Every structure is written in C-alpha cells, then in structure tokens.
Chain A
Amino acid sequence: MKRTIAFHPILFAMFPILSIFTFNMGQMPYGERQIAIPLLVSVLSAAAIWGVLSLILKNSLKAGLITSILVLLFFSYGHIYSFLIAANISFTIRYPHLTALWMIIIIVSGALIIRTKRDLKNITTILNIMSITLALLPTANYLANKAMISSAGLKTKTAEQSGENVAAIKSPVEPRDIYYVILDGYSNETTMKEVFNCDISDFTSFLKKKGFFVASKSRSNYAFTDLSIPSSLNMKFLDGDMDPLRKKQRAYLLITARLRTMLEDHKVKDFLKARGYKLIFFSSGFQVDNQNRYFDVPNRCGRDNEFMYNLLNTTALAPLHGYYVVKKLENAREKITSCVQDEITKIPEKGPLFVFAHLDVSHVNMFHEAAPSYCGELKAYNKRLETMVSGILSASKKPPIIVLQGDHGTKTILDEIMGEDGKWDMNKLLANEPLMDAGLRQRMRIFNAYYFPAGGEAKLYDSITPVNTFRVMFDYYFGADFKLMDDRSYFSFPPRNYEFVDVTERAKF
C-alpha cells in the first residue's frame, strides 16, 4: 500500500511570494535575498499549522487539506480585495465583509473536512499536483526572466568600453565634496504657490542667502523616479537605452532591469571613482534605489522593505495596514529621512566624497499630498533641510558642491481624473487639454537648487533640467567636455511608463 504524503501546504505557502517576486524581477536585482526571509516564515508557518493540526486530528491528510485552505485564503485576501476595488465593488464589499466571508469558508470547509469519512488520498494527490504546478510556474518564469536579463546585456559600459579617455581629463588639485540630494516629488516654488497656495519663499531665500542658485524655471526630464534619476546620473536621455529593448520579448522586464542597472552602475559614479572619490549612498527606503552595491558605502541609514509591505498587502493582514503596517512603514521612512539628514553632515570617511541621498518626502507627499496639512508639513520639512544644508556647509573644510533637486513634481491635478482601477485615466486626461496641461506643469516643474562655489554658479541657468546637472558640474570643476543637452521633458502614462511623449513646450514656464 503506497503512502500518500500531503506536501501541498508547503508549496502553496511558497507560491504567493515567488509569484510577486518574479512579477517584479526587473525592480529587484538582488531580490533572491529579499524573499528568503518571507519565504522561510511562510513555509515554517504552514508546516507548523500542519504539524499542530496533524497532532490534533491524528490525520495528516485532513490537516494538510485544512492548512492549504488556510494558506490560500490568507494569501488571496488582498488580491481579491484589490480585484473588488478594480471592479468597483469596493463600495459594497469592505474589509469586514470579506473577513466574515473568509471566516465562514474556513469554518464550513474545516467542519466538512474534519467530519468526512472519505479517503482523502485522491484529493491529496490532486492538490499535490496543483501545488507543484504553482511552485513551478513562477520558478520557470524566474529562470526565463533571469536568462532574458543576462542575455540582453543590460550592464552599463565602462568609460573605457565606451571609448572615453577618462585619464585625459584632469582632476582638480583639491577636489570638492559633492552632495547630490534628490527631494522626491518636490515641485517648483511657483507650483507650490499656484496649486497648494503654499509659499516656500522662506526656504528659497535661505538658500540664496547661503549662496545657492535656485533654478526658478526648472523642469524634470521624466515624470517618474525610476526614469528621472537614471537619466540624471547617466547624463543622458533614456531613449537610446530603451529603444533596442522595446522590440524584444518581455520588453518591460528588460527595460525595468536596465533602468535598475542604470540607477546603480552609472556614469557619474564611474567619472568620480576614476578621480579618487569615495562614494557614499543614502537610500530613501524606496525599492527603486534602496542600496547601491557599487558605492563604497552602499547604504548608510538602512532601508525599509517595500517588497514586504506589498506582500503583506496581499494577505489577510491587509486590513491591519492602516493601524499598524503602514504606520510602521511610514515610521521606517521617517527614521531613514531623519537619519540621512543627520548623518549626511558628519560622514566619517575622508574625501573627496560623492554623496548621493534620495530623501523621501512621503510624509508630506506620497500619502498626504492632497491633505490640508501638506503645506505645513512641507514647511517643517524645509526647516530640516535648512539645518541639513547648514550642517554640510559648516562641516566642509573646502566649500562643497551641493545639489537639491526634485526628481519630479507633485500630481494632485492629474489625480483628479482617475480610472476605475485607481490610476490616471489616460483617455479622459488626453480629452481634457486644460487639465492635462495644468497636470503636466505640476508634475514636470521641479524644485532645483545648486551650490556651485568658486564661480560655478555663472554656468547655471533658470531653465536647467537634471540631465545637465552633472554636465555643467563636470565641465566647470573637472575641465570635462560633456557640453549641454537640450532641456527636454518627457511624460509617460502608467502603466506605459516607458513610452515617452515630449511635453517640453506644454510644461515650459
């Protein structure tokens, strides 16, 4: 008599994590490490439930069946809820209703399984095969994605490979420390006034008094962080890198993977490393740039786990988000932001330093952009930035180079037209030209301030865009010859983030 073993709960417990991971592989170049702990916790929890139920019921097949139902219901909760939202049923079905339904399913199916006298070998075999399928699907997808990414040659060319003569460019005798601080989603001063009735002139006046040049007509080159920062750190527009990938299979995977590579392995890093700079990285906590493995200090202030946050959002723990998980995440980001603002002024490494810091303004932006408290929170945030700037300046023996730059602006106007899925409705936006123009101006016009000492300020201009930040800097301070590019702005509509529309004229001041 052959013994049937119910291993399906273990594989069912692995599937949801593997599924989200493979779906986001382009964003998670070292994701294997990120999923190890959730995978282990999930598998061990399923095994523990199965073990306890086996002891209680004295029937491992019944225990396995109940465990699998629990696991699948647990991990499907958030998916079902988001499906209901997308289908616009969320008004009638809220968390308590869904939770009640889940409880009923668990109690009824549990009672039926416990009471049944049937032989469960066949159903166990069927579930075992289903679980193998569910474990194999994302695993096969993972292998296919991995093969596609490595065969697409997404790595950035080194300066030597690109035919650039790095050594020919002379370094300054006493190089200055460089601080490149990204202020995530920080709009231009005019936008703040027009859209939010928020006067941030105190902050700009403070910066000007300190010797900053505030580019009053600056625009971002792209509308999203994962496009904007790779563009500025590689001092180029992205079409040249995106176009060859667009025609390939799994183009989006390859494009996201390429952008992720460009975020870490970029031209600015190569240029400065070749000149003896120490590279220090401060993460925002966002998945998009939560560490840089090419930097000497890959991440000084820690990072939160966006993957974990999203994974939890798919589970039956989703209703607890508002009370616990989101608060914990916000606090984590808040902690990171405070740490960066504090640590950036007392970096122990000896220079010359290139310090990259991506500051999350999420407390005032991501979650509360439309809230009445936005302006007040932003002003409080500006005060912290002022302290940070003063700290950097007073800690530097030789006046450093500082850039405070929004990677894109805010988006409350574009958010006015949302589709049923909670995302921008592209067709409605395109049909409403005045709203679209106002939305573009809000999103593309950014805050952009430079501390370029020793005459560097003279090379800056009001309408400078991030693609030219390091071109101006390197040409002036390092005697390079990058020259300026056209200050163009490209918008893209989610989910087609990588199909660009030139909106320079519409976003211009």
Chain B
Amino acid sequence: MNRIYLTLRVTLICFLICFLFAHTAHAYIDIGAGSYFFQIAVASMLGIMVSVKIYWKIIKKKIVSLFSGKKPLPKE
C-alpha cells in the first residue's frame, strides 16, 4: 500500500511541476538542455527523498550515535 501511495504522490508532484514549468523561447529544433537537466534534478530530488525514507532507520541510528558519542550497536 505504501508503495502505491508513494507512486501516487510522485505522479501528483510530477503533474504539478509540469504545469508550473514555463517553456523558454526557441526557434526550430532546440535540444532543451536546461529542461533536460531540470527534469533530472527533479527526479534526483525524489530519488533522494525515497532513499531517505528507505534508509531512515540507518540514517537515524548514525545521527543518534554521532551526537551521543556512542558507537552504533553491531548488527545482530
């Protein structure tokens, strides 16, 4: 279920970005490098967000151990 919600959220964000995304002026065929990298940046942001969600427990452990000065517990 979580994955379905995640996919729906991703889709919704994509559509919102697209409607906000203004075209720049161009004549004839333009490779649109700016647009290309912008879209990759958006996908990367989402990738980072999903990574944080997936690895949240590990990240949390690392942060806690960093500030408490304790070594993270070894894996059981």
Contact = CB atoms under 8 A, between A and B. Distances in A.
Interface of A: 15-16, 19-20, 23-24, 27, 76, 78-79, 82-83, 86, 122, 125-127, 129-134, 136-138, 140-141, 144, 224, 226, 249-250, 252-253, 256, 286-288, 306-307, 309-311, 313-314, 494-498
Q: Identify which of A134, A249, A494 gathers the most chain B CB atoms within 10 Å of its CB.
A: A134
Contacts of A309: 29
Contacts of A138: 39
B45 to A, nearest CB: 9
Contacts of B28: 27, 226, 286-288, 306
Give the residue among B10, B18, B24, B51 with the most A Cβ atoms within 10 A.
B18
A125 B54 contact: yes
B21 to A, nearest CB: 7
A78 B31 contact: yes
A496 B27 CA distance: 9
Contact of B27 (A23, A253, A495): A495
B29 A27 contact: yes
Contacts of B65: none
Nearest to B37: A79
Given A138-B39, A141-B21, A133 B27 contact: no
B65 to A, nearest CB: 21
Contacts of B50: 125-126, 129
Contacts of B4: none
11 contacts: A20-B31, A24-B32, A129-B46, A129-B50, A133-B14, A133-B42, A136-B15, A140-B15, A226-B28, A306-B28, A497-B27
* 5 A-B pairs with the lowest CB-CB distances in the bound complex, closest first: A23-B32, A140-B18, A495-B25, A133-B43, A136-B14
Contacts of B44: 130
Given A122-B54, A133-B46, A24 B18 contact: no
B7 A132 contact: yes
Contact of B10 (A133, A288, A311, A494): A133
A127 B51 CA distance: 10
Contact of A23 (B11, B26, B40): B26
A473 to B, nearest CB: 29
Contacts of B39: 15, 19, 134, 137-138
A494 B44 CA distance: 31
B47 to A, nearest CB: 4
Contacts, number: 122
B5 interface: no
B23 A130 contact: no
B25 A496 contact: yes
Given A494-B27, A495-B26, 8 more contacts: A20-B31, A79-B31, A125-B50, A130-B44, A133-B14, A306-B29, A310-B30, A495-B27
B54 A252 contact: no
Contact of B29 (A76, A253, A287, A498): A287
A83 B33 contact: yes
A494 B39 CA distance: 24
A497 B25 CA distance: 8
Given A24-B32, A288-B28, A130 B46 contact: yes
Contacts of A144: 18-19
B72 to A, nearest CB: 18
Contacts of B19: 140, 144
Given A23-B26, A133-B10, A495-B24, A127 B18 contact: no
A19 B32 contact: yes
A252 B11 CA distance: 26
Given A125-B54, A134-B40, A497-B25, A313 B31 contact: yes
